[in-house]
Chains A and B, each alone.
Chain A
């Protein structure tokens, strides 16, 4: 049977699951909406992978990343838990070992990762505002009643993008209405929105960084051809959009897992049957001191396997 490595990227909006083989080829990939239920979504994601791969592939290692990486690792039994920055960098290096800049734009966050000689030397994530992210485009596309999938194609038709303020989604909206009422056509407005996002990204997330080629553009937003074009216009470099741009975080987690299991014997992966395990989280307020920490308990089939959330550590149980 083929050996595979499972990677999970569980974020606020989407949950991505991939399985890769030993050479790093993608065997399975699926995108699910997290819908605020990370545990069930992860169970479902693993079940879907199982339905397709059961009997053909054995999972030799599993890795998790994304903002719910710790929770997910307890659900599936992960061999490695890594932050999104490192996971994305690992996956990008696997596609192009010479990459010097990674632009990653997802639903609610955007990142820039600067690498030199195959090592991450600097990174940044958007901080207080979501203006430079996918949700900005989502919002405006909804206003224009354009399905987000068609957004990029429409932008490409524009010869003369209008200028729209990109600092803030609210300001952008009033700017956009103004431009609509002046009689600009939809293509130019859509292309203008793409450029507004790019300006915002470069001035906010990319500020002070040296963006050298090769530049990889990944994350769900990289599907938008209008944005690819806008980035190329502003940066004067071609954008490389990897084939599996939307699941690069999960691929990174899977690659890290394949490395991690080399250093130990066997995997912690619980198997495709994790859907049959009952996971439950409960919480209580510790009364031990005035901090009143909210302690979260994680139980598997009725027994508590992990606890976290206390600042002093007295309640903590770490999942192995």
Chain B
């Protein structure tokens, strides 16, 4: 089978390896571009959110490239994303496009559905169960390594001397990972990539601001969906901490605190949890960032995303009481980046002035 999947950051490297090693042909989804968006907007309901529209465009693009099957995730709970794959399938059927969407729901929700879909993908590739499990483990290792490299790039970028060097070095590291075919090879590629990033020329005299990124998972993880905001921030001299990585979302402890812990942080402000999507997380993560001494928080939300709208209307109080500035970006189909750039520059100005004043006050206290 020719299999594709939605693009979400650099995770495609791991998924490509997985699809190929199960025994299928992989159609790598192109990075969402203006063409993706044009297609997506044309064939999506007007009120659908930007992740839906980008996926619509991606599905049409990969169908054009010959994909027969798309693997994606479903979802339970009050966010409408759980129904997106059904809507997408209907749209494809109506357009007469022969592309089947297989959506994996959380396994514990309906184990037999999960198992059947999994079997369909794995059996048709011709692997034994034991081999299949091995391949899954390697792909998981790859996914984790990809996230490790990206996470380090956020720490290094504000110190880079030549603009863009961090991005170029990260891409080199990801190329190593792309070529690795076993767990030992991945481990080697990972440490090689980390070493490259760490040994980049850096100006350690700088004193970067620290900003946390919260919000809806798709627009947080896919750089082209958020105007490459995390790179833009890094190049503006800000150390970015992202509250979410795909491996963390899939249960990796060191990348993600358990939801219960985050919900507990949110509870003084919002008793209901979860409220769908990452709404409650956005509130809890803001509290955590404040407690961990971050200078500010940026919320990324698709326009009309209910969970993030709920979070946004609660965040002003969190921001006041926890004493941490929060800037929200609602993301829609506009591609103009000037507005984003202006807000970021103003936000960085604000955070710098604030930090300066705080340090002065602390200095005065110490002097007494």
Contact = CB atoms under 8 A, between A and B. Distances in A.
Nearest to B326: A122
A123 B349 CA distance: 11
A312 B167 contact: yes
Interface in B155-201: 162-165, 167-168, 171
Contact of A313 (B167, B303, B329, B338): B167
A154 B171 CA distance: 61
Contact of B353 (A120, A311, A312): A120
Contacts of A122: 319, 325, 350
Nearest to B163: A313
Given A86-B349, A119-B354, A290-B31, 20 more contacts: A82-B349, A83-B341, A84-B342, A84-B346, A86-B345, A120-B353, A121-B325, A121-B350, A122-B350, A123-B346, A125-B339, A125-B343, A127-B339, A208-B312, A208-B313, A208-B315, A311-B228, A312-B167, A313-B162, A313-B167
B350 A312 contact: no
A314 B349 contact: no
B294 interface: no
Nearest to A122: B325
Interface of B: 30-31, 162-165, 167-168, 171, 228, 231, 303, 312-313, 315-316, 319, 325, 329-330, 332, 334, 338-339, 341-343, 345-347, 349-350, 353-354, 357
B164 A313 contact: yes
B316 A316 contact: no
A155 to B, nearest CB: 30
22 contacts: A82-B345, A83-B346, A84-B342, A84-B346, A109-B339, A119-B353, A120-B349, A121-B350, A121-B354, A122-B319, A123-B347, A127-B303, A128-B332, A128-B334, A207-B313, A208-B312, A208-B315, A290-B31, A291-B31, A312-B164, A312-B168, A316-B163
Contacts, number: 78
A291 B224 CA distance: 11
Given A208-B316, A313-B162, A314-B164, A67 B342 contact: yes
A20 interface: no
B34 to A, nearest CB: 10
Contacts of A85: 342-343, 345-346, 349
Given A123-B350, A128-B303, A83 B167 contact: no
Given A83-B345, A120-B350, A128 B330 contact: yes
B322 to A, nearest CB: 14
A123 B319 CA distance: 13
Interface string A308-320: 0011111010000
Interface in A21-73: 67
Interface residues of A, number: 26
A229 interface: no
B164 A67 contact: no
B165 A86 contact: no
A150 B218 CA distance: 48
Contacts of B231: 311
Interface in A113-127: 119-123, 125, 127
A122 B319 CA distance: 10
Contacts of A313: 162-165, 167-168
A207 B30 CA distance: 38
Contacts of A163: none
A244 interface: no
B316 A209 contact: yes
A209 B317 CA distance: 10
Nearest to A113: B346
Interface in A294-320: 310-314, 316
B325 A311 contact: no
A83 B342 contact: yes
A128 B162 CA distance: 34
Interface in A263-314: 290-291, 310-314
A148 B56 CA distance: 43
A120 B356 CA distance: 13
Q: Which 3 A-B pairs have the closest CB atoms?
A: A313-B164, A85-B346, A208-B316
A312 B171 CA distance: 10
Contacts of A83: 341-343, 345-346, 349
A67 B338 contact: yes
B306 to A, nearest CB: 16
Nearest to B33: A292
A256 to B, nearest CB: 11
A172 B303 CA distance: 21
A48 to B, nearest CB: 25
Nearest to B166: A313
B345 A311 contact: no
